[in-house]
Amino acid sequence: MIQIEQLHARAGQFAIRDVNLAVPQGCYAVLMGRTGSGKTTLLESICGLRQIVSGRIRIGDRDVSDLKPGERGIGLVPQDVALFPTMTVRQHLAFALEIRRRPPDAIADRVEELASLLGIAHLLDRYTAGLSGGESQRVALGRALSFRPGVLLLDEPLSALDEATRDEMHALLRDVQRTTGVTTLHITHNRSEGRALAQKLFVAEANTVREAPLEELAKRC
């Protein structure tokens, strides 16, 4: 569950205010908005990468407003995927677990499990340099899910992909969400993406975020 109350956050001259938002446990929510509407500011605030001015952020039953990013239990897939060029795919999937000092066999099991869920078992020993857009997305998704976070945040993850790969990723995201039951907030400006995935819809505009009926996705295009 993600619950945001009266959030006020600033990014330079830009600010978002009075943001109230609730994504129930296990729900796939989509946040839509134009470039510069504050989507990324909101996302960084939720992750703890941006200090908020006021308001509260809850993940599950914990108030995480003052916690460090790593203590919030949030898996992030950033806009440009930001894979680590010095690591193999396997090291990406193991990274968060190694930081948490999990036993090696538990890590190996989890890596296998993720690799088969995401269809990247054949890539495990590759470095990220030669991966295709879709493959990179899968690795970024696996890295974000590896430590079983309560919440998954996706920042325009599919914007750089071609149409066919995008449809494939929609199916994968739905599948992952069904399998893991992770509460998801997916940021996009692509309406067809919203239609394909949203169980709940939010719209960022006029420096705040409002909930919108799913019909709005159909109506607008």
Partner 1 sequence: MLSSVYIILIVAMLAADATFTTPHHLLGALNSPEIRFSVRLSLISCTLTTLLSLWVSVPTAYLMSRFRFPGRRAMDAILDIPIVLPPLVVGISLLILFQTPPGQFIERFIPVTYAVPSIVIAQFAVACAFAVRTMLVTFDQIPQRRELVALTLGCNRAQAFWRIAFPEARRGILTAATLAWARSLGEFGPILVFSGATRMRTEVLPTTVFLELSVGNLEAAVAVSMLMIVAALAVLGIARVFGLRAPLERVL
Q: Report the length, in residues, of the chain.
A: 221
The phi and psi torsions of 146 (rounded to 5 degrees) equal: -55, -40
Q: Between 52 and 91, how does the x/- string for binding to partner 1 read (CB under 8 A)?
A: ----------------xxx-x-xxx-x-x-xxxxx-----
Look up residue 56 and give its two tokens. Answer: 């509260």
Q: How far is the CB of 126 from partner 1 (least distance, A)?
A: 17
Q: Which of the stretches 11-19, 52-60, 111-119, 138-146 binds partner 1 when contact is defined by CB under 8 A?
A: 138-146
CA torsion 105-109-112-113 (nearest 10°) is -160
Q: Decide: residue 179, CB within 10 A, 0-12 exposed, 13-18 middle, 19+ buried.
A: exposed
- Separation of CA 110 from chain center: 19
Q: How far is the CB of 157 from partner 1 (least distance, A)?
A: 13
Task: State yes or no: residue 103 binds partner 1 (CB under 8 A).
Answer: no
* Size of residue set near partner 1 by CB under 8 A: 25
The Cα–Cα gap between 50 and 31 comes to 19
Output the smallest distance, CB 111 to partner 1, in A.
Answer: 14
Residues that bind partner 1 (CB under 8 A): 47-49, 68-70, 72, 74-76, 78, 80, 82-86, 95-96, 99-100, 143-144, 146-147
